[in-house]
Structure 1
């Protein structure tokens, strides 16, 4: 990882871990009784829908998993800090978060796969003055030069996509655009777009679908629909933990993964029931956006929690090219042996 990014992420992890300790949250996992698994996630983005399905369909209970805390922590840095402090046992985030954590904590282990599509889109305001969404990719990326672009935060998968795209056309996202940190709430990001605070968003689904349904924006670049050929089928949404937690709660994590596997199968095989759950998961979201999402979910979710080496390698190449890491992480070292294919 580039030194500046590493220091920034490490500082965020350290600061958040300190806050958790100061508020008495640190050590919750270590003190919890065996069998209780505390799982934190960044947000209620579509990537973590399988966890909701497993909860609602009773799969966790069926597999004997007793879930404890389920905080929504907002950023990958806070998710990593919660793992570092011991307040959660498993983090549900993106692979970028696991790579960042591994830089400061060699015990980091990827424990499961959720999404094998890059589910971040570039969304432009409805009055965006640039080439059409079906124009060559380079033309669309160059149209973003000099613009204010909303991201969830530094060191995130949303920032990574902008950095990667700009790099592909010889631009530097840090100097050739203004990246605006908006946090992880889609409605707030859409508000910033509609009010002209930003010209575009690099944001996770369902932000783009919501913006289109509300008539305030358009999905301009989408890895999921094949706009970026070199970013096809990467591991993106992921579960991760540490070897210390695995040593204590490996059986619970395996049971958790079995429940997630059942949820992934449910999404693949029962689209009507999946759509009903998705509408409650994304409560308040325009039905048009929910329908658009439900159509593509089977394509982007992993078929199981097993971590494909090819999907891992595609993600590594993306992180190298977007300059988020300097060296390729080793699949055998970073991925828990129980979920290696």
Structure 2
């Protein structure tokens, strides 16, 4: 498997850390768990921590760094400074490209939680128009993304491909970074006509009157892309074998948290703490969406993973990704 330019930094960092191996340096009964950020994808970890599920299941969490990028997350796994990484599937696939012992550990989010948002004065058909017409309306527009090689750029490429277009020539992609207020400011000021951005930016845009959710994979707007593995926890087979009891306890805790998010209305109080500063209406709008997005269990269905692998291949996020059975351990191959 070859890693694309989007994973070049990861490849370099992994190459420098590979000599350290991928075994765990943490004490027995403890896991160091890193994650990219405090995005919606990692809310299950917060719920499990706040409700004491990790301790209940018999594992202590040690270091909990927010790594910022998937490249740093993968490098930390390779060096042994963390045991598990919470990121997006892209991060696990890029790690696999350098270390084929990489494997998925738990499913967090099974829908693509990036949306296309347009400004309130956007010149195009409404959000209830056929998908092809909405995609055509984005031609020639300035579209804000977090940066090159990101999942936000990949979504634009994916939908443009459906209409035979190329965002490199048929739109102007504007790199805005990952700061939600800055992205919303760019949309409101007219710096961009649309955003391809992760939740809760779409909900915040609507709650504050800045924009409208125009194309949403998680809403089912893109046929064949309704369910796709996105937010995940991953590790290496060496760590799983060395810390088998701790990893199993972690998985049980996450499964309890996933169930709570899907079924317990009181979880919205935790979401308010987790996403401090989000508009109250935006949070209320986000909660039922998250209930649908969070995985019903920690396993990975073949359809969901293969949809994601095809997306990564088509958009160039990862070149020649592994197959379902190569990245998903046998005990997590769900039949749902």
Tell me the TM-score normalized by structure 1.
0.89
Q: Are 1:73 and 2:67 matched, yes or no?
A: yes
Q: Are 1:276 and 2:269 matched, yes or no?
A: yes
Partner residue, 2:45: 51
**Which of 4, 7, 12 pairs up with 1:6?**
4
Distance 1:259 1:206 in 2: 25
Question: Secondary structure at 2:177's aligned position in 1?
Answer: coil
Query: What is the CA deviation profile of residues 126-154 of structure 1, one whole-angstrom value per residue up to 9, with x for unaligned ones?
Result: 22222211111112112222323222233
Question: Secondary structure at 1:128's aligned position in 2?
Answer: coil
Partner residue, 1:194: 188
- The alpha-carbon deviation at position 29 of structure 1 amounts to 7.7
Q: Are 1:41 and 2:35 matched, yes or no?
A: yes
Question: Secondary structure at 2:71's aligned position in 1?
Answer: helix
Cα contact 2:13–2:71 (8 A) shared by 1: no
Partner residue, 1:150: 144
Cα contact 1:75–1:153 (8 A) shared by 2: no
Cα contact 2:118–2:214 (8 A) shared by 1: yes
- The alpha-carbon deviation at position 16 of structure 1 amounts to 8.4
1:225-304 aligned at under 5 Å gives the runs 225-271=219-265, 273-304=266-297
Question: Secondary structure at 1:220's aligned position in 2?
Answer: strand
- The alpha-carbon deviation at position 231 of structure 1 amounts to 0.2
Distance 2:77 2:299 in 1: 21
Cα contact 1:114–1:302 (8 A) shared by 2: yes
- The alpha-carbon deviation at position 51 of structure 1 amounts to 0.7
CA distance change for structure 1 residues 178 and 279 in 2, over 3 Å: closer, same or farther? same
- The alpha-carbon deviation at position 113 of structure 1 amounts to 0.6
**Which of 83, 88, 92 pairs up with 1:94?**
88
Partner residue, 2:57: 63
Distance 2:156 2:122 in 1: 17
The number of residue pairs the alignment matches comes to 332
CA distance change for structure 1 residues 106 and 51 in 2, over 3 Å: closer, same or farther? same
CA distance change for structure 1 residues 166 and 197 in 2, over 3 Å: closer, same or farther? same
Distance 2:227 2:47 in 1: 23
RMSD: 2.3
Instruction: Name the stretch that deviates more: 105-114 or 73-82.
Output: 73-82
Question: Secondary structure at 1:112's aligned position in 2?
Answer: strand
Query: What is the CA deviation profile of residues 289-326 of structure 1, one whole-angstrom value per residue up to 9, with x for unaligned ones?
Result: 01001122221111111111121122122223324344
Partner residue, 1:313: 306
Tell me the TM-score normalized by structure 2.
0.91
Distance 2:12 2:139 in 1: 33
Distance 1:159 1:84 in 2: 27
Q: Are 1:221 and 2:215 matched, yes or no?
A: yes
CA distance change for structure 1 residues 251 and 10 in 2, over 3 Å: closer, same or farther? farther
Distance 2:15 2:188 in 1: 35
Instruction: Name the stretch that deviates more: 73-82 or 255-264.
Output: 73-82
Q: Are 1:173 and 2:173 matched, yes or no?
A: no
